[in-house]
Amino acid sequence: MKITIHNAVLDSARRFFEDRGTVGCEGTAMIAARAGIATRVVIPNQAATPAPRCSVEVTAAGKLELAAALGPDERYVARIHSHPALAFHSPTDNANPALTQEGALSIVVPFFGLGLRRGLNACAVFVRRNGRFIEVPPGATRDALVGT
**51 pLDDT tier (thresholds 50, 70, 90):** confident
Cα four-point dihedral sign 35, 141, 126, 22: negative
Share of the chain above pLDDT 90, in %: 92
Per-residue pLDDT at 43 = 98
Give every CB contact of residue 90 below 8 A, 6+ residues apart in sequence.
83
pLDDT at 112 over 90: yes
Band the pLDDT of 1: cuts 50, 70, 90.
Answer: confident
Q: Residue 26's domain spans which residues?
A: 3-147
Mean pLDDT, rounded, for 132-145 = 95
Q: Where are the alpha helices (DSSP H) in the chain?
A: 7-21, 60-69, 91-95, 140-145
Q: Tell me the whole-structure pTM to 2 decimals.
A: 0.96
pLDDT at 40: 96
CATH number of the domain encompassing residue 134: 3.40.140.10
Report the domain count for the chain. 1
